[in-house]
Chains A and B, each alone.
Chain A
Amino acid sequence: QQPVQSPQAVILREGEDAVINCSSSKALYSVHWYRQKHGEAPVFLMILLKGGEQMRHEKISASFNEKKQQSSLYLTASQLSYSGTYFCGTGTKYGGSQGNLIFGKGTKLSVKP
């Protein structure tokens, strides 16, 4: 039940936009987005909850389509610092549980000057 992320990799020029998708075959309660830079730990970006609002972190925003069981991460006017691997983690337990997340394989984003 690992979520599927697409694309697997994307290369951008500074200032360009990108969209990363995360799809699950299971009903989702929450979707968590993380960014990992090379040699570092994953860092939390934002959480999307079922029935919740679109979230934003700086110029990065995300949405959660409950019908499609899909979340999309929107990177606007990309900066060099956005480079890294983006992971979505899906939670299927309800009610603010502390259950585990299942992570996708990641999308590698490279922003060039």
Chain B
Amino acid sequence: DAGVIQSPRHEVTEMGQEVTLRCKPISGHNSLFWYRQTMMRGLELLIYFNNNVPIDDSGMPEDRFSAKMPNASFSTLKIQPSEPRDSAVYFCASNSSTDTQYFGPGTRLTVL
């Protein structure tokens, strides 16, 4: 079975530009999580969805960040406008009823 798929794997952009990260969860999983990982702050939960509905977005840093899950097989995380402090690795994870989360390979974002 394919795991969690994320794209792009690397993104380099300039401050002020819009960035869109994409995630395809494991088929059959109905919860999806977006995390951000930095050396300073570790692994932070940004938002999670259950059955395509956002359940907890308290980790979203500010209004520049938004996430959508239009269907069970696709989610996006958008940053507009991007800032250098947004540079991090962004992970998407999914799970079903076991609570075990399976992580995608991540997107390394660099904002210049």
Q: Give the CA-CA distance A32 to B95 in the complex, in Å.
A: 13
Q: Is A87 an interface residue, CB under 8 A from the partner?
A: yes
The answer to whether B42 has its CB under 8 Å from any CB of chain A is yes
Task: Report the Cα distance A104→B37, complex, angstroms.
Answer: 12
* Contact A100–B33 (Cβ < 8 Å): yes
Closest to A2 in B: B42
Indicate if the CB atoms of A40 and B105 lie closer than 8 Å. yes
- The SS class assigned to the B binding surface is strand
Q: Within the complex, which residue of A43, A44, A87, A100 is in contact with B45, where a contact is CB–CB below 8 Å? A: A100
A52 within 8 A of B: no
Taken together as a complex, chains A and B put the C-alpha atoms of A26 and B55 apart, in Å, by: 21
Q: Is the CB of B101 within 8 A of A89?
A: yes
CA distance A36 to B103 in the complex (A): 11
Q: Are A98 and B30 in contact (CB-based, < 8 A)? A: yes
Chain A residues close to B by CB (< 8 Å): 30, 32, 34, 40-44, 47, 87, 89, 91, 96-106
B62 at the interface (CB under 8 A from A): no
CA distance A89 to B31 in the complex (A): 16
Give the top 8 A-B pairs by smallest Cβ distance, nearest first: A41-B103, A98-B31, A103-B43, A105-B42, A42-B103, A100-B48, A100-B45, A41-B105
Q: Most A CB atoms within 10 A — which of B48, B103, B105?
A: B103
Write out the residue numbers on chain B whose beta carbons fall within 8 Å of the beta carbon of A41: 91, 103-106
Residues of A within 8 A of B33 (CB): 100
Q: Are the C-beta atoms of A100 and B100 separated by less than 8 Å?
A: no
Contact with A along B74-112 (1 / 0, CB 8 A): 000000000000000001000111111111111000000
